[in-house]
Chains A and B, each alone.
Chain A
Amino acid sequence: MSKRSARGGSRLAQVSAPEPEPELEVAELQLSSDEEYESGEESDLVSLSGGEDDAGVDREIEDAVLGYMAAAEKNRQDGGSASGSDDEGEHTDSGSGEEGEERSQEGGEGRQGAAEPQSANLHGAAAAAAVADDGDDDEQRPDDPASDSSEDERPNRNTIGDVPLVWYKDEEHVGYDAEGKKLARRPRRDRLEKHLAASDNIAKEMRTVYDEYNDEEIELSKEEMRMIQRIRAGQFPHVEVNPYEPEVDWFTRDVEVMPFNAAPEPKRRFVPSKWEEKKVVKLVRALRKGWIKRGQVEPEKPTAYLIWEDDGKTLDKTATGLTYIPAPKLKLPGHEESYNPAPEYLPTEEERNAEQLLDDEDRPQFVPTAYDCLRRVPAYANFIKERFERCLDLYLCPRTRRKRLIIEDPEVLVPKLPKPQDLQPFPTLLSVRYTGHSKVVRSVCPDPTGQWLLSGSDDGTVRLWEVRTGRCMQCWRLEEPVSCVAWCPSPGLSLLAAASGKRLLLLPSGVGNEEQEAATEAALAACTADSSGSSSDGIEDGQLVSWQRWQGGGEGQGGSSGSGRGSGSGGVVVLHKFGIKHVTWHARGDYFATTAPTGNTQAVLVNQLSKGVTQNPFRKNRGRVVRVLFHPSKPFFFVATQQNVRVYNLAKQALAKKLVSGSGVITSMAIHPTGDHLIVGSEDKRLCWFDLDLSAKPYRSLRYHQYAVRGAAFHRTYPLLASSSDDATVHVFHGMVYADLMTNPLIVPVKILRGHEMVDYQGVLDVAFHPTQPWIFTAGADATICLFVNP
């Protein structure tokens, strides 16, 4: 009966194979109803496929076996161990010793038992459905699940190759061997034999399956059966694997009486952690410094607050420190925007006409209109436009509020400098213009008394002017452009030096008194006494320069012819090897230094007037020497290369200081009469003030000019300094130097002097202050010299 029911169940399953999972009750119901046409079904199958029916029957049997086993299992579980049968004995015979243990385990999981028959049925049904498919397609399935398991153990005995057996289904043979002989089909047991065998040992017969591929019958062992059963139940194939093993917490924090590990406690368990200590130190430090505040209670927020408080207000600060402005809100619609506003909101006829007359920009965007129902309201024509404009507004709106400095009095930002009018006197007014040169005036120099002015120009002349009247008193015509003139500061002499090309000329001025002129003549004669014998024009080998007499004289200016000063004695020419650009006198008037920027190792030469000797103090010059200068009182010597200024101590014969202007090419240099301050003009429009007591960096950098600075000068007595530039302006500064070392010099720009014109991008090339008055002489590229005086 159990077999029948199992078969019936399988049949039902075969019919309703496509259905996913029939319910248990339904299966039971049908189990009872389909008993009678079981045979008919069977015969039907036989009649349809005569050769195949054996296989189909085998399947059925197999299914039945499975179903039976499932039922037996169920019975066993239901009835406990009391339902022991011969099957049970069979089981125990074939199973190993461990089988009993396994079964007892299974008995433990009694709850799962209820579901097992169903799942067995279902899997059996699925297998049966597969057999039915085979029958329809007349196809042999090589991968039979039943035979698969035995294939691992037995070698493949198929000798005909991978040939569908259906080709030989009507033949006596099943294929050909290597020699081409027919392989005879193995004699099959017919149905009767099978039945007899089944009646002999139903259990064995039930476990026997036919392997079509290898053409043999295989009897499945009990383990294999169980394995199949488990696979079909969706469980692990191996019995011993238990996926639901109870977890044992081996490594707990509870100290066990018998620990797994007998190793002693590591040291770090009882030594304080270095890193923790560091962290603690950090925290302690932060507490001490007050970075972490203790005991501070957060002010309690009131329970009730305005939820729209932020509307329209800026938040105080964001994390980035920016103050954001929330997007402006749109005006909420009011009564006017209603689809059917009250009549007082509607514009009257006159208002509507008046609006029509307005410009498009002035006309209101929205005109209240009444509609009798909401459906009549048309689409808003300006919707896209307005929305676009709002988006545009929001996009273009600055989202951060610009922090604006609120300065009531902008004057407080300006450094406290005295007013220029309080710093009088300084030159402001153009009073005298000295005209006579025909080309760029390169250099000006007033005489120590302030009565005369010397100028040297590119037209090759040196001119002597009377300061007060602007009269040219003398003119020396030198062949080459005059780059620099300097008046000998010695009070006993009336001598001037002019640099013209490679020649340095020492000329008697002709305006001194008799004693001075005699002394000058004597000095000039003395300095050329040694070289008087050599009349050669060139420089002798091994000599730096050559001191020679020069017989060209100056000529008086003006209409007079008779009384022109017959400056009977010419000057002295000191012939250099390189073009001289600058000449400067020592304060005593005995030494003068010449600068020849192109003469690399002989760029700086110091000449002594009284002995007529020349020395080259520097064997090597780092960079192109632009200017040299004597300290007014101390034995210091300033050498300005294009990049920096070196201060040499002449007494120690050592480099005392190196001043770095940090600016462009140095063009000019002047020293304060006290000798403690130096100003340096450079081509990058800058005038740097160096405090020689302070540092090698500029104390102040004055950048006021628009073009390169060309000249710089200090006043001898007044606290004034000036710089001239190629922008044709002269800037006058008040530069007060205090005697105490504590007070820094006070530098105030007081005046911009304009009086020259730019010629070929050259403006004012030199400046010089009057020795006694607050006046300034400026040498311009427009071939004139200007005198600016105080108002």
Chain B
Amino acid sequence: MDATQQPDEAVQVAVSFFTRLSDDLRVPEAPIAVPANLARYGLSQIINHLLALDPARPFDFLINGELLRLSLQRHLLAQQISAEAVLRVEYVPAVLPPTPKQEHPHEDWVSAVAACGGGNPSSGAGQQQLLASGSYDGIVRLWSQGECCSSFAAHKGPVQAVAAVASSSPAAGTLLTAGNDGMVRLWRGVEAAAAGGAAPEPAALLKGHTDTVQAAAAAPDGNLCATGGWDNKLLLWRCGDELQAAAEAAADAEAGEAAAAASSRRKKRKAADGAAAVVAAQHEEAPQSELQAHSQCVSGISWASEGTLASCSWDHSVRMWDAVTGANLDTLNHNKALYCVAAAPRASGGSGLVAFGGAGRALGVWDCRVRSGEGLAVKACSSHTGWISALAWHPSSAHHVASASHDGAVKLWDLRAAIPLHTLEAHSDKVLCVGWLGSGMLASGGADCKLRTAVVELAGE
């Protein structure tokens, strides 16, 4: 190509801009010649100039589904795209750098974070978003508006996972917690507790693990939840309304059979201080089914849709499961122990991608729709300098993933590019958990005993 030989000469590329944004942000698709040495900023200036936007809005550009990160010329060279034909470039609003918002100090390492309550978590930046954080001291804390509105001792030993369970009833506010003691607990009345009421009451004790439960996740519809732990088990449980009904029925039966002792105990428990006392679960629930394939600790679980979930394990594998039949849909064998997995939510368009991270510095992205032999199924995105400890897929975007690492950084990725969009040097020690609060806020907690939030604008997607 001439451009490489004469870089000083202004090589021009014919570009046709298009977008899926609203009409007022649309430019005519007629090809225009732009200098090939322009990068994202230059192209964004052109769009702004064409649209005569005031104030200016940054845009990102996609060429054949790849985010433009280099100059146009070098990108074409790297992707081996001919500069002769008219280049169709899609523009999308750029993601602005996250702005740190709040910092919630903890008494111990923050090991798990989850957004809960507020009805449907994908409903947008609701003001009533509750943040639940699990800590190594075994206490789950609820945060609202930067204040710790409630805290309760959930587990004996560190809490390893916290997950919100979607519920049809808006005020239910069910929370799933799992800890080192091998217990998985379902808490009810989280919203009420956040509003200033009593501590959440344990709805059920999911008993089936014999060792530390490392991961817990609830299905998007809230009817199923999955947990995995150091006993190499991946268990599926009933959850939400169904469990609620079963628990109530069991409670009634229990009350009917042996009333006095149980009820007095329950009363005593209720009377005890909710924050300090370790509360025995009211209802013991057995696992609905066990998904048997992992040979080592199941360290991460993520639901892609209501019926499929992804799990990763220390045995180096990522597996896709059909939750209904319990079949192992697909398996990816990696070469390192894996700690976390995040599947693209079906709600965001279901790209079918699965991101995973573990005892390595690279974030792996697995396209499980690609059959073996059809191309590169796994992409490695390297930017972290430590182990990747947690991943969170944006609830409404098909491309945006937040990753937390032991190097103290939280990175925001657009998986259409190989380098991260933004890096949040949020923590001074290992970051152990990351989660989306709604679609506009990122929360992360780490070994510096802090839970931090940052505002991320993913407008227009």
Question: Which A residues have a C-beta under 8 Å from some C-beta of B?
Answer: 424-425, 431-432, 449-451, 468-471, 473, 511-515, 558-563, 565, 772-773, 775, 789-791
Contact = CB atoms under 8 A, between A and B. Distances in A.
A559 B105 CA distance: 11
A281 to B, nearest CB: 73
Contact of A431 (B180, B182, B386): B386
B287 to A, nearest CB: 16
Contacts of A468: 339, 387, 389
Nearest to B337: A773
A559 B137 contact: yes
A561 B181 CA distance: 18
Given A431-B359, A470-B430, A560-B107, A449 B138 contact: no
Nearest to B106: A559
Q: Pick the most buried of B106, B136, B182, B210: most chain A CB atoms within 10 A of its CB.
A: B136
Nearest to A513: B182
Contacts of A565: 156-157
30 contacts: A424-B335, A425-B335, A450-B314, A451-B211, A451-B297, A469-B109, A469-B406, A469-B430, A511-B157, A511-B212, A512-B211, A515-B210, A558-B107, A558-B108, A558-B109, A558-B136, A559-B107, A559-B137, A559-B449, A560-B139, A561-B107, A562-B276, A563-B137, A563-B156, A563-B157, A772-B296, A773-B359, A789-B336, A790-B335, A790-B336
Contacts of A789: 336, 359-360
A450 B139 CA distance: 25
Given A559-B108, A560-B136, A773-B337, A469 B211 contact: no
A425 B230 CA distance: 23
B353 interface: no
Contact of A560 (B138, B335, B447): B138
A511 to B, nearest CB: 7
Interface of B: 106-109, 135-139, 153, 156-158, 180-182, 210-212, 230, 276, 278, 296-297, 314-315, 335-337, 339, 359-360, 386-387, 389, 406, 430, 432, 447, 449
A468 to B, nearest CB: 7
The listed residue with most B CB atoms (<10 A of its CB), out of A432, A515, A560, is A560
Given A469-B109, A563-B137, 5 more contacts: A451-B297, A469-B389, A560-B135, A563-B278, A772-B296
Contacts of A563: 137-139, 153, 156-157, 278
8 cross-chain pairs, A with B, having the tightest CB-CB distances, nearest first: A560-B137, A559-B107, A563-B138, A558-B108, A513-B182, A559-B108, A560-B108, A563-B137
Contacts of B359: 431, 773, 775, 789-790
A790 B449 CA distance: 29
A513 B449 CA distance: 26
By secondary structure, the A interface counts as: loop
B178 to A, nearest CB: 13
A461 to B, nearest CB: 19
B458 to A, nearest CB: 30
A471 B138 contact: no
Given A513-B182, A513-B211, A449 B297 contact: yes
B136 A471 contact: yes
A561 B138 CA distance: 11
Contacts of A451: 211-212, 230, 297
B32 to A, nearest CB: 46
A424 B109 CA distance: 34
B279 to A, nearest CB: 12
Contacts of A558: 107-109, 136-137
Contacts of B297: 449-451
Contacts of A473: 158
Contacts of A450: 296-297, 314
A773 B314 contact: yes
B360 A513 contact: no
Task: Give the one of A451, A563, A789 with max B CB within 10 A.
Answer: A563
Nearest to B430: A469
Which of A468, A513, A791 is packed against the most chain B CB atoms within 10 Å?
A468
Given A559-B107, A772-B296, A513 B138 contact: no
Contacts of A431: 359, 386-387, 406
Contacts of A471: 109, 136, 447
B227 to A, nearest CB: 14
A608 to B, nearest CB: 27
Contacts of B138: 560, 563
A449 B432 contact: no
Nearest to B432: A469
B226 to A, nearest CB: 20
Nearest to A787: B359
Contacts of B180: 511
A36 B262 CA distance: 189
Contacts of A432: 387, 406
Contacts of A775: 359
Nearest to B336: A790
B335 A562 contact: no
B38 to A, nearest CB: 37
Contact of A449 (B107, B230, B360): B230
B366 to A, nearest CB: 19
B229 to A, nearest CB: 10
Nearest to B295: A772
A565 B211 CA distance: 16
A181 B82 CA distance: 166
A447 to B, nearest CB: 10
Contacts of B182: 513-514
Nearest to B277: A562
Contacts of A511: 157, 180, 212
Contacts of B230: 449, 451
A512 B157 CA distance: 11
Contacts of A790: 335-336, 359
